[in-house]
Amino acid sequence: MWVDGGARGNPGPAAVGYRIEDEAGAVLAEDGHAIGIATNNEAEYRALITALGRAAALGATEVEVRSDSQLLMRQMTGRYRVKSPHLRTLWDEAQQAADGFERVRYVEVRRTENTDADRQVNLALDRA
């Protein structure tokens, strides 16, 4: 799965986007929606939580999460501590969602590789 969140302003109007593919690259689900006013980091976490929930609904047992958010990926893998109390709440929610899978792998990618999820974020922000 590919996840992205973004805010126009920080905080500002924000949205989440994701794209879920099977192992062969076929698109199983793709969506984006506005989440109101949030920071960029909050939007990144909400994108992850949303995509994990959708993958679970599709019956996935293992997922590979790809994001261009260094903070999100490194906090989810334990390389960075979660210092913000508000982000800690979102981290807890993301961990709980991830615990529903047999295996979750986090992969930090370049922004240029995450264009499909980013497009979903921008489409949602443009609609809002």
Task: Check: pTM over 0.75? Answer yes or no.
Answer: yes
Dihedral (CA of 56, 85, 114, 110) sign:
negative
Contact 124, 34 (CB under 8 A): yes
Supply the DSSP symbol for 112.
Answer: G
H/E stretch holding 3 reads: strand 2-7
For residues 48 and 66, what is the distance between their CA atoms, to the nearest angstrom? Answer: 9
pLDDT tens-digit profile of 39-63?
999 999 999 999 999 999 999 999 9
Counting Cα atoms < 13 Å in the Cβ hemisphere of 96 gives 8
pLDDT, block means (10 residues), the chain with 128 residues: 97 98 97 98 98 98 98 98 96 98 98 97 96
Dihedral (CA of 45, 47, 48, 53) sign:
positive
Which pLDDT value is given to residue 103?
A: 98
Dihedral (CA of 124, 56, 3, 113) sign:
negative
Which pLDDT value is given to residue 121?
A: 98
Domain boundaries, the chain: 2-127
Which pLDDT value is given to residue 91?
A: 98
25 Ramachandran zone, left/alpha/beta (phi>0; psi -120 to 50): left
H/E stretch holding 43 reads: helix 40-57
Domain 2-127 superfamily per CATH: Ribonuclease H-like superfamily/Ribonuclease H (3.30.420.10)
